[in-house]
Amino acid sequence: MRALSVHADLIVFVSRYWQTTCTAIRAGDEGFVIDSPIYPDELETVRAVLEEAGFPVSGLLATHADWDHLLARIAFPEASLGVGESTARRLADEPGAAQRELREFDDEQYVDDRPPLALGGIQTLPVPGRLSLGPDERGHELELYPADGHTPDGTAFYVPWLKVLVCGDYLSPVEIPWLSPGGSVDAYLATLERLRGLLERTETVVPGHGRPQPSAEALRLLEEDTAYLRALTAQGEDAPLPAGRRTKAQRRIHAGNAEFVATRPPS
């Protein structure tokens, strides 16, 4: 796992599996961790690094309900977990799904030392909305925006005082757009357009998978992803993949996307 200091008050951890990101934000005496790395030793490292750096962890946030973004609760079991309204609904509609998928992953990867994942006591956050960190007079407020399409749920977090966008599974330099069950091409494209507006006041983008990107690079990825999804709708399996994201793994995702649009064309 890599730990990248984006700012004195922001550290991004990038897991060695899927390059899943975990973002720690400090605002005075308070702080939040958004999403999570994958392996138990990585979760232990996140806690140790933040303690060493003097980062408080007042609460946890998750961009969406996929299991690989919910694991910070294992590293910080005493912290509350906040999610957007759509993610809270998904977790309620799919009780135990994240834990089952985590167990399947651990079985495949021979992971046998992971504590259980507890997801009780979820705090539901209004989206769009704002979340204050620390005393109000400091102006530390996270902005929350809908980010569905990859899945039926999702929230993007904008950090205005740092000009950082934490957008979940969008704008990835290593992964093409992925249409999961419950996702939607139309909703994905709508999310990309919302993110386009946010990029105008963003300096750094933290995707759900891959290293942080400058806003200009994220905008390039956004244009590529938009073009890919439109080609996918028109051409299905024959749609070209974005340059630089044509690996064997991405071709498997593309094959699933093509099957998705063949059975569930956009409205």
Determine contact, residues 60/72, Cβ cutoff 8 Å.
yes
Name the residue ranges covered by the structural domains of the chain. Answer: 2-263
What is the CATH number that goes with domain 2-263?
A: 3.60.15.10
Which 3 state secondary structure label does DSSP give 20? strand
> What mean pLDDT comes out for the span 183-188?
96
- Which residues lie below 8 Å from residue 146, measured CB to CB, with a gap of 6+? 84, 86, 127, 128, 154, 155, 156, 191, 194
Determine contact, residues 11/5, Cβ cutoff 8 Å.
yes
More confident residue, 155 or 134: 155
At residue 207, the pLDDT reads 98
172, 178, 184, 186 alpha-carbon torsion, rounded to 10°: 40
At residue 132, the pLDDT reads 86
At residue 139, the pLDDT reads 67
At residue 151, the pLDDT reads 97
> What mean pLDDT comes out for the span 14-35?
95
pLDDT in tens, 27-43: 988 999 999 999 999 99
Lowest mean pLDDT among 5-9, 40-44, 63-67, 174-178: 5-9
pLDDT in tens, 205-233: 999 999 999 999 999 999 999 999 999 99
At residue 266, the pLDDT reads 54
Distance CA 36, CA 13 (A): 8
Q: What is the mean pLDDT of the chain?
A: 94
Q: What percent of the chain has pLDDT over 70?
A: 97
At residue 92, the pLDDT reads 95
Q: What percent of the chain has pLDDT over 90?
A: 92
DSSP 98-121: HHHHHHHHHHHHT---PPP----S
Residue type, 220: R
pLDDT in tens, 39-65: 999 999 999 999 999 999 999 999 999
C-alpha triplet 37, 211, 140: angle, nearest 5°:
80
pLDDT in tens, 114-128: 999 999 889 999 999
The phi and psi torsions of 83 (rounded to 5 degrees) equal -140, 155
Does 267 have pLDDT greater than 80? Answer: no
With b for 16 or more beta-carbon neighbours within 10 A and e for fewer, the 152-174 pattern comes to: bbbbbbbbbebebbbbbbbbbbe
